[in-house]
Amino acid sequence: MAHNDKRFDPRRQHTLLNSDRLAKWDPPRFLARFGLQPGQTVLDLGSGPGFWTLPLAEIVGSTGWVWAVDGSQELLDALAARNPPPQVHLVLSELPQIALPDTSVDLAWVAFVFHEVEPPEQLTAELRRVVRADGRVAVLEWRPDAESEAGPPRAHRVRPDQVIARLQADGFVRAAQTWQDADNFLVEAFQK
Ligand SMILES: C[S@@+](CC[C@H](N)C(=O)[O-])C[C@H]1O[C@@H](n2cnc3c(N)ncnc32)[C@H](O)[C@@H]1O
């Protein structure tokens, strides 16, 4: 498998599940902005060991469905070892292809993955394909102009306007930055 140099090293998986990260994001609180309902389907794209996957599973509940898609078997094994509930389904998939059917998810959650995947235009085309008509995509990323030293090299990062332009180019509407702090930003866009 040819990996680019932006790709997360699975040996660093402990950095994705530490208590500082949990304290910063408080995933149930952060994810509440999407108004997900029990029974809905979420794609956790580039799930890694499941920092967001398990809180997402809690929100959609036992009648919902969470696709945890990642190209690293090692990271999916780490997620499996955390005993996810039955509504979590692990998919080994090498992006930008997303091994899911058309119009199958209410939310595509893309946390700290967008900047790692090439080419981005294939990724956004795939996101457009899998999101339902009334669904949305949400991209959480590192700011290139962040002040702290946390996160990937600045040269690897993408700006919010680049993410927005990419999503718009594939037909997503109402693409906008909806949140930011000193280090990170969130872009949301809708299928219709
Ligand atoms: C920085 S980690 C973020 C993990 C998780 N979203 C989180 O926020 O905790 C990036 C993830 O994207 C996955 N990834 C990166 N490039 C990929 C590709 N081309 N195909 C599949 N997965 C990829 C990595 O294996 C890794 O799990």
Task: Cite the DSSP H helix spans in 92-147.
Answer: 120-130
| Residue 119 CA to ligand 1 centre (angstroms) | 15
pLDDT digits (tens, 9 = 90+) for 130-167: 999 999 999 999 999 998 889 999 999 999 999 999 99
Pocket test for ligand 1, best of 6, 7, 107 (most atoms within 8 A of CB): 7
Q: Are strands 88-92 and 65-70 parallel, antiparallel or unpaired?
A: parallel
In short, whether 79's Cβ falls inside 6 Å of ligand 1 is no
In this structure, which long-range contacts are made by residues 144-147, counting pairs with CB atoms below 8 Å and at least 24 apart in sequence?
Answer: 146/182, 146/183, 146/184, 147/182, 147/183
User: Given this model, what pLDDT does residue 2 score?
Assistant: 53
pTM strictly above 0.95: yes
For the chain, residues with pLDDT lower than 50 are 1
User: Given this model, what pLDDT does residue 169 score?
Assistant: 98
Pocket test for ligand 1, best of 8, 9, 76 (most atoms within 8 A of CB): 8
In short, whether 27's Cβ falls inside 6 Å of ligand 1 is no
With 0-12 / 13-18 / 19 or more C-beta atoms within 10 angstroms meaning exposed / middle / buried, residue 17 is middle
Atom of ligand 1 minimally distant from the CA of 93: 21
44 in Cβ contact with 109 (< 8 Å): yes
In short, whether 94's Cβ falls inside 6 Å of ligand 1 is yes
User: Given this model, what pLDDT does residue 155 score?
Assistant: 92
